[in-house]
């Protein structure tokens, strides 16, 4: 349903309008201040006229069905007024008061009643428990705070926020960017973030979408909106709160507990070309970076400064944050030193102060970086702010004009950066905005924001065709519901999909065990196999390094003694005699299913280390080209796989192929699979492949799995 009646209303009814200081008064005053050209209908039986407008005793008395009704009354009076609003034919409503789903069961019932009326009458509902909607681009407001000075309010940022206070904080500072829309979505009882995003994607005044969210209620619609925004060239910058684990759930495998809501959501944003930020500093700096007329088309940062100390601090931060600040090439360095004099460090950041003749040195530094192929972005760092007790604004503006001269002659984006967020000289900011150059703040936040936008601008990874599909997990589910698919069956399925597994034999007697061990070759491992015992080591049901028949026979007795002590008499499928794989690097791979966004693949260091270090990479399925290799490189496992302390490098190519095969299996059978754990996988020296030592599959038993 189009949101025009809510976002671009032609008529606004104010239920609970008043002359006294109140929300109802603020909305009417804002309409005048912002230049609203539509019709205003105050509703209050106590006033015949209010603030220059005819006032109506009830919604039934209005001369027309209004586009939107602003409910400026207590939540206790909402329901009694809502049915008349629906009967009048209002197209949209905004409910500001709280007291609904956020307040517990009774509030949730009230909210459900209102939603039911809205659905039946085709009414758009903003909120409840929200600040309303402000549209500086088309000059309308049903926002609870009074618009006092609309001149600087308009801009290209479309803000959607479940938090009203976040709206207040962002709208209070319009020095570097203004807003096409400010949408306080509140409880999102009917209209969620995805639907608001769809409207902003189509809005010509919106260049970048800023989203502050607590929860995503329509995951598939949200993902589709992210894709469409990226296709339209509009970055979606997302700050999600509640990133710690929001629920506890019973899990069978390690992977399901590792992934968590926050990690999965971040991967969703990455996969669908949105920009994830962690705090308000990062949020505002990315929005500020987007104000530049030119956006970065590469991640290589070059910085001009007048301080060796600043340069060193930037390099520390760049190293910690994974930012690309490449050294100045030798020919560029010689050209810089020809005018500036000796340069310390590797020339990037470039301390261009030299002999103090900034009028000569700075223009030359900009020219050098503009001609340097390894510089995608040029940043000038220098602190200045309003009301500073020392120094002169004239010097700052002179630096700024040098940068603007360079920006006009260059195809590379230019930025001015203060070393701390929040520092700004308003005159400088205005001059930069006039010429399409962005001001950023904070070395970590500002440089990081450029990098985030540069990453967003990169073409998305190529899609890859999954490998030819092997047998389905369904063949192991025909006998009825299985809580888990045991190690032996799981490995047979993996092997059928081209994933190498350890040599092993399932046996039913100690004599068979001895025969199997002879065929495999000592030493061997003995394991109990049961769907009812997903974690065998917890019960001592994995006996390793059995070097001869006597040790194997003794281990058989021990295994069955321990099985007899397990409560519930678990059903035994047999005993596994398995090759003891010596050497290799232990890693793990696992698949888990997020109830909102589907299946993910996790990879990291294996064995018990994963539970301690929790160092792993994560990707949504299906994998794209290069995903497996990138996951391996992102973790500490990469260092071990390269070879340390004289150890040979491991067979990373074989590991990557196995990750792709696992991902393809899981995605093809996603309707049947809840979780998969391969832990450990032993990665052998280069050319010798890798092998899965232990495996477990948990099938989906309900839609919630």
pLDDT beyond 60 at 353:
yes
Is 60 exceeded by the pLDDT of residue 249? no
Residue 545 lies in a domain: yes
Residues 87-100 have a mean pLDDT of 94
Number of domains within the chain: 4
Q: What is the pLDDT of residue 599?
A: 94
494, 524: one domain: no
Q: Would you state the pLDDT for residue 246?
A: 39
Give per-residue burial for 198-218: e unless 16+ CB within 10 Å, then b: bbbbebebbbbbbbbbeebbe
Distance CA 583, CA 483 (A): 33
Q: Is residue 281 part of a domain?
A: no
429, 457, 485 - which closes a domain: 457
Instruction: Calculate the alpha carbon distances from 196 to 133, 179, 199, 235, 589 in Å.
Output: 11, 15, 5, 15, 37
Residue 275 lies in a domain: no
Q: What is the CATH number of the domain that holds 351?
A: 3.40.50.261
383 in a structural domain: yes
Q: Walk across the sheet containing 524-529 and list its strands.
A: 504-507, 574-579, 524-529, 542-546
State how far the alpha carbon of 514 is from the alpha carbons of 519, 522, 544, 572, in Å: 9, 10, 15, 19
Beta strand 11-15 with 68-71: parallel, antiparallel or unpaired? parallel
- Rounded to an integer, the average pLDDT of 94-98 is 93
Mean pLDDT throughout 518-544? 93
Where among 457, 485, 519 does a domain terminate? 457
**124-126 and 92-95: which strand pairing?**
parallel
Residue 256, pLDDT > 50, answer no
Clarify whether residues 220 and 313 are in a common domain: no
Range of the domain at 361: 289-457
> What is the average per-residue pLDDT within 328-356?
93
Mean pLDDT, to the nearest integer, of 563-571?
89
Quick one: 623 and 666 in the same domain?
yes
In a domain, 631, yes or no: yes
Kindly report, residue by residue over 21-34, the tens digit of the pLDDT. 999 999 999 999 99
Q: Which of 255-269, 461-475, 515-529, 674-688 has the lowest mean pLDDT?
A: 255-269
154-161 and 179-184 beta bridge pairing: parallel
Same domain, 30 and 129: yes
**How confident is the model over 503-512, as pLDDT tens digits?**
999 999 999 9
Residue 647 lies in a domain: yes
Q: Are residues 514 and 636 in the same domain?
A: no
Mean pLDDT of 618-624: 93
Do 475 and 488 fall into the same domain? yes
CB neighbours of residue 173 within 10 Å = 11
- What the block records as the tokens of 79 is 């329901």
- State the pLDDT at residue 248: 34
- The CATH number of residue 585's host domain is 3.30.470.20
Question: Model confidence at 257, in pLDDT bands (50, 70, 90)?
Answer: very low
What is the DSSP annotation of 395-410?
A: HHHHHHHHHHHHHHH-
| Distance, CA of 238 to CA of 280 (rounded, Å) | 10
Return left, alpha or beta for 96; rule: phi > 0 is left, psi -120 to 50 is alpha, else beta. alpha
Residue 295, pLDDT > 80, answer yes
CATH number for 192: 3.40.50.720
Three-class SS state of 455: helix
User: Are 364 and 484 within one domain?
Assistant: no
Q: What is the pTM of this model?
A: 0.90
| pLDDT at position 609 | 60
Cβ neighbours of 270 (radius 10 Å) = 16
| Mean pLDDT, the chain, integer | 92
Which of 241, 269, 304 is where one domain is finished?
A: 241
Contacts of 99 (CB under 8 A, 6+ apart): 74, 75, 76, 107, 110, 128, 129
Same domain flag for 386 and 514:
no
Dihedral of the CA atoms 475, 478, 479, 480 (nearest 10)? 130
Return the structure tokens found at 418.
């203060």
Query: Do both 352 and 448 map to the same domain?
Result: yes
With beta carbons less than 8 A apart as the criterion, state whether 594 and 261 touch. Answer: yes
Cα 42 from chain centroid (whole Å): 42
Cα–Cα distances (Å) from 681 to 98, 473, 642, 692, in that order, read 53, 21, 16, 4
In the DSSP assignment, the letter for residue 124 is E
Structure confidence at residue 101 (pLDDT): 86
The Cα 324–Cα 559 span in angstroms is 55
Percent of the chain at pLDDT > 90 equals 81
- State the pLDDT at residue 683: 97
Q: Same domain, yes or no, for 434 and 493?
A: no
> Does residue 277 lie within any of the structural domains?
no
pLDDT tens by residue, 576-587: 999 999 889 999
Q: Which two three-digit tokens encode residue 157?
A: 């940022």
Residue 305 lies in a domain: yes
Q: Is the pLDDT of residue 147 over 70?
A: yes
Rounded CA gap, 22 and 529, in Å? 70
Alpha carbons 81 and 100: distance in angstroms, whole number: 16
Strand 208-213 relative to strand 132-135, pairing = unpaired
Residue 538 and residue 411 share a domain: no
**Residue 570 sits in the same domain as residue 686:** no
Please report the pLDDT score of residue 253 as a whole number: 44
Is pLDDT of 387 > 60?
yes
pLDDT in tens, 130-145: 999 999 999 999 999 9
Q: Which residues does residue 93 pair with via DSSP β-bridges, in sequence order?
A: 69, 125
- 104 φ, ψ (degrees, to nearest 5): 110, -165
pLDDT bracket for residue 247 (50, 70, 90) = very low
User: Which tokens sit at 534?
Assistant: 């997903």
């Amino acid at each position: 349903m189009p949101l025009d009646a809510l976002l671009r209303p032609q008529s606004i009814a104010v239920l609970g309008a008043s002359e006294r200081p109140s929300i109802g008064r603020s909305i009417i005053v804002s309409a005048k201040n912002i230049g609203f050209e539509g019709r205003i209908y105050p509703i209050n039986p106590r006033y015949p006229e209010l603030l220059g407008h005819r006032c109506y005793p009830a919604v039934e008395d209005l001369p027309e069905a209004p586009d939107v009704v602003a409910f400026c009354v207590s939540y206790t009076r909402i329901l009694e007024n809502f049915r008349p609003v629906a009967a009048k034919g209002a197209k949209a409503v905004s409910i500001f008061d709280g007291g609904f789903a956020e307040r517990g069961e009774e509030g949730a019932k009230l909210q459900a009643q209102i939603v039911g009326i809205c659905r039946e009458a085709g009414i758009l509902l903003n909120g409840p428990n929200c600040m309303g909607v402000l549209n500086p681009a088309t000059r309308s407001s049903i926002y609870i705070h009074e618009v006092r000075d609309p001149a600087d309010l308009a801009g290209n940022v479309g803000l959607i926020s479940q938090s009203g206070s976040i709206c207040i904080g962002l709208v209070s500072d319009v020095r570097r960017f203004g807003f096409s829309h400010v949408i306080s979505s509140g409880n999102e009882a009917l209209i969620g973030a995805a639907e608001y995003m769809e409207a902003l994607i189509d809005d010509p005044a919106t260049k970048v979408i800023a989203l502050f969210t607590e929860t995503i209620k329509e995951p598939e619609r949200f993902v589709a909106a992210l894709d469409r925004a990226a296709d339209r060239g509009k970055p979606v910058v997302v700050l999600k709160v509640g990133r710690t684990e929001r629920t506890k759930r019973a899990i069978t495998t390690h992977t399901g507990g590792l992934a968590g809501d926050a990690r999965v959501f971040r991967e969703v944003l990455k996969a669908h070309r949105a920009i994830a930020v962690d705090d308000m500093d990062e949020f505002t700096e990315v929005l500020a970076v987007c104000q530049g007329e030119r956006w970065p088309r590469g991640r290589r940062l070059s910085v001009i400064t007048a301080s060796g100390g600043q340069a060193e601090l930037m390099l520390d931060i760049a190293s910690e944050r994974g930012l690309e600040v490449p050294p100045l090439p030798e020919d560029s360095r010689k050209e810089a030193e020809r005018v500036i004099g000796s340069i310390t460090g590797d020339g990037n950041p470039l301390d261009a102060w030299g002999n103090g003749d900034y009028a000569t040195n700075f223009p030359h530094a900009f020219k050098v970086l503009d001609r340097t192929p390894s510089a995608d972005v040029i940043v000038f760092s220098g602190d200045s702010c309003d009301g500073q007790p020392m120094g002169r604004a004239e010097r700052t503006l002179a630096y700024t004009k040098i940068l603007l001269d360079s920006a006009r002659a260059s195809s590379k984006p230019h930025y001015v950066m203060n070393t701390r967020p929040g520092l700004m000289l308003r005159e400088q900011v205005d001059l930069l905005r006039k010429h399409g150059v962005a001001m950023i703040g904070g070395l970590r936040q500002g440089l990081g924001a450029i990098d985030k936008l540069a990453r967003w601008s990169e073409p998305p990874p190529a899609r890859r065709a999954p490998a030819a599909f092997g047998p389905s997990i369904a063949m192991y589910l025909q006998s009825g519901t299985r809580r888990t698919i045991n190690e032996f069956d799981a490995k047979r399925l993996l092997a059928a999909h081209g994933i190498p597994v350890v040599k092993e034999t399932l046996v039913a007697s100690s004599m068979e065990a001895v025969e199997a061990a002879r065929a495999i070759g000592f030493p061997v491992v003995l394991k109990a196999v049961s769907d009812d015992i997903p974690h065998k080591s917890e019960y001592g049901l994995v006996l390793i390094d059995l070097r001869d028949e006597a040790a194997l026979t003794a281990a058989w007795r021990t295994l069955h003694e321990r099985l007899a002590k397990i409560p519930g008499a678990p059903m035994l499928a047999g005993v596994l005699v398995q090759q003891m794989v010596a050497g290799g690097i232990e890693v793990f791979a696992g698949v888990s299913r997020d109830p909102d966004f589907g299946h993910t693949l996790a990879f990291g260091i294996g064995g018990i280390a994963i539970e301690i270090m929790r160092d792993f990479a994560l990707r949504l399925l299906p994998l794209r080209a290069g995903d497996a290799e990138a996951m391996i490189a992102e973790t500490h496992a990469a260092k071990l796989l390269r070879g340390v302390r004289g150890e040979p490098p491991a067979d990373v190519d074989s590991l990557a192929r196995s990750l792709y095969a696992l991902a393809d299996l899981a995605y093809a059978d996603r309707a049947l699979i809840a979780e998969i754990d391969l832990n450990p996988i032993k990665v052998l020296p280069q050319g010798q492949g890798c092998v899965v030592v232990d495996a477990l599959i948990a099938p989906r038993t309900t839609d919630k799995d």
